[in-house]
């Protein structure tokens, strides 16, 4: 047996024996064991990295746990830091507040249900599905009360669509202040939503010819309410009871919510209990005091429903810094409430020159779309931006263009081209440029 083989065998023994110990015990055992072996930097490296060939890691040499150990599976415990987070100073308490989707760690275009941002106005209600009812009334021939079982008997439709709070990025109208992507763009998600087209239910109740607006109202303590124009209701509004293949998550409106694809998340009323058909909007709090945009002349825009074309680079980002000069796959997400994304370009010099990207996901209307391109980083400072164009030809605007028209007090609907500054150490900083 050669000296090297002997050493390797001994190291494996040390490593495996130490598996039975935990924490401090294991570390000191390893240290002592390796000291005994003496003078081997190589050996220390090998023991510290049991997955590195030629080592065979311990999990390969023993049995794992059996089926149904965890009957409803969870992400690996090593992914525990991929989670929703909130920004404490934004709201008075956690009951009427918001949390953010960890966009930097997500892949593809579908947001896992447990990571979809939360927005509550009176906390998360604990609703018993058997007790929940959806009432449809007002200017209809046949006012209805539907149980969840009733609702699920109607023809079912699924669609992958983004969901975005119109206040997404709203903290940055006056300047960059969020330290990471999760907080600058994380009021955003994209899921497969399954339910009944609202148009089907409207046919079933028989709406009056003069009906033009619908009030959607939640069963939570805030009775969150929004007025929805009939055109949207008859187009693609969906009464949703499932998300990413399973029942809606409580945070997302269990057992049933409204989804207005491409529109303000706030109109997608959760824990939906009532739809009233009428001939005028209701002008409730969430469509007058909130979710209206104050313009520089002191007037405010109302019923600004659509989420316009937007995009952001998700890697690099503050959470995904660069390590050393070399080739990187730069990627991000683009979306538009007006339809499909047509193209996305990326700039590395603050918008002087742009490079086309390719789509790395399926391209669906009113859905997140993933783009990417290769970049050879030379180690110098760079200003990385993405600019999306949607199928209407609308080009995502700059901050300067938005502020010229809207000032900086409008809170909602900020869809400006976003800039990440790459520092020469590879760190990534959220900045705004002139």
Listed residue (259, 274, 271, 96) closest to 190, CA to CA: 259
End-to-end CA distance of the chain: 69
Q: Which is nearer to other proteins, 99 or 244 (CB)?
A: 99
* Secondary structure E strands in 115-212: 133-138, 144-147, 157-164, 188-197
- Site for other proteins (CB under 8 A): which residue of 81, 231, 376, 378? 81
Q: Which is nearer to other proteins, 55 or 432 (CB)?
A: 432
From the CB of 293, what's the least distance to other proteins, in Å? 8
From the CB of 221, what's the least distance to other proteins, in Å? 4
Cα–Cα distances in angstroms (integers) from residue 379 to residues 176, 326, 327, 331, 422, in the given order: 24, 8, 11, 18, 9
- Looking up tokens 């049933």 gives 256
Q: Are 343 and 316 contacting, i.e. CB atoms less than 8 angstroms apart?
A: no
Contacting residues for 6 by C-beta, under 8 A, at least 6 apart: none
Residues 210-229 that bind other proteins (CB under 8 A): 215, 217, 221-223, 225
Residues 177-206 that bind other proteins (CB under 8 A): 177-180, 184, 203-206
Bridge partner residues of 61 (DSSP) = none
Residues 33-72 that bind other proteins (CB under 8 A): none
From the CB of 136, what's the least distance to other proteins, in Å? 8
The Cα 256–Cα 35 span in angstroms is: 62
User: What is the gyration radius of the CA atoms in the chain, in angstroms?
Assistant: 26
Residues 11-40 that bind other proteins (CB under 8 A): none
The Cα 104–Cα 204 span in angstroms is: 43
- Which parts of 90-131 fold into alpha helices (H)? none
- Assess 101 for contact with other proteins (CB under 8 A): no
From the CB of 85, what's the least distance to other proteins, in Å? 9
Bridge partner residues of 162 (DSSP) = 190
Torsion sign (Cα): 106, 109, 112, 113: positive
- Site for other proteins (CB under 8 A): which residue of 96, 110, 211, 363? 96
- Residue 158 CA to chain centroid, in angstroms? 19
- Site for other proteins (CB under 8 A): which residue of 10, 124, 211, 363? 124
Number of residues that bind other proteins (CB under 8 A): 105
- Assess 144 for contact with other proteins (CB under 8 A): yes
Residues 351-410 that bind other proteins (CB under 8 A): 351-356, 383, 387, 389, 394-398, 401-402, 404-406, 409
- Region of 36-44, 56-64, 108-116, 169-177 interacting with other proteins (CB under 8 A): 169-177
Q: Which is nearer to other proteins, 112 or 192 (CB)?
A: 112
- Assess 93 for contact with other proteins (CB under 8 A): yes
- Site for other proteins (CB under 8 A): which residue of 43, 98, 103, 146? 146
Residues 277-306 that bind other proteins (CB under 8 A): 278, 280, 282-285, 288-289, 292, 294-306
Q: Are 171 and 224 contacting, i.e. CB atoms less than 8 angstroms apart?
A: no
Residues 251-270 that bind other proteins (CB under 8 A): none
């Amino acid at each position: 047996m050669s000296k090297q083989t002997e050493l390797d065998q001994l190291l494996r023994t040390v490593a495996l024996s130490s598996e039975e110990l935990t924490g401090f015990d294991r570390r000191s055992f390893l240290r002592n064991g390796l000291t005994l072996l003496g003078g081997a930097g190589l050996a220390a490296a090998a023991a510290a990295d049991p997955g590195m060939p030629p080592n065979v890691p311990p999990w390969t040499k023993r049995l794992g746990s059996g089926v149904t150990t965890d009957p409803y599976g969870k992400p690996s415990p090593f992914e525990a830091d991929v989670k929703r987070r909130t920004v404490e100073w934004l709201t008075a308490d956690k009951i009427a507040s918001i949390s953010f989707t960890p966009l930097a760690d997500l892949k593809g275009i579908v947001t896992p249900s447990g990571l979809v941002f939360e927005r509550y106005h009176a906390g998360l209600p604990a609703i018993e599905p058997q007790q929940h009812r959806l009432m449809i009334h007002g200017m209809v021939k046949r006012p209805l009360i539907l149980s969840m079982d009733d609702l699920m008997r109607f023809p079912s439709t699924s669609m992958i669509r983004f969901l975005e709070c119109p206040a997404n990025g709203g903290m940055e109208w006056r300047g960059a202040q969020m330290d990471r992507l999760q907080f600058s763009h994380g009021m955003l998600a994209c899921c497969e939503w399954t339910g009944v087209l609202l148009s089907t239910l409207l046919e079933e109740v028989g709406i009056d010819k003069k009906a033009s607006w619908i009030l959607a109202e939640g069963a939570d303590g805030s009775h969150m309410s929004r007025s929805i124009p009939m055109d949207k209701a008859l187009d693609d509004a969906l009464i949703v009871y499932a998300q990413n293949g399973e029942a809606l998550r409580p945070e997302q409106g269990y057992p049933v919510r409204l989804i207005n694809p491409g529109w303000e998340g706030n109109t997608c009323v959760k824990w939906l209990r009532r739809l009233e058909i009428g001939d005028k909007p209701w002008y409730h709090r969430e469509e007058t005091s909130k979710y209206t945009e104050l313009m520089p002349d002191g007037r405010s825009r109302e019923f600004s429903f659509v989420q316009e074309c937007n995009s952001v680079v998700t890697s690099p980002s503050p959470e995904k810094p660069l390590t050393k000069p070399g080739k990187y796959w730069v990627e991000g997400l683009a979306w538009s409430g007006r339809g499909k994304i047509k193209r996305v370009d990326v700039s590395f010099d603050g918008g002087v020159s742009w490079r086309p990207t390719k789509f790395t996901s399926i391209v669906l209307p009113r859905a997140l779309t993933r783009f990417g391109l290769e970049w050879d980083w030379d180690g110098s400072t760079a200003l990385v931006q993405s600019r999306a164009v949607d199928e209407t030809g609308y080009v995502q605007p700059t901050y300067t263009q938005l502020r010229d028209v809207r000032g900086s007090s409008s809170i909602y609907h900020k869809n400006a081209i976003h800039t990440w500054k790459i520092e020469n150490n590879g760190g990534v900083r959220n900045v705004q440029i002139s």
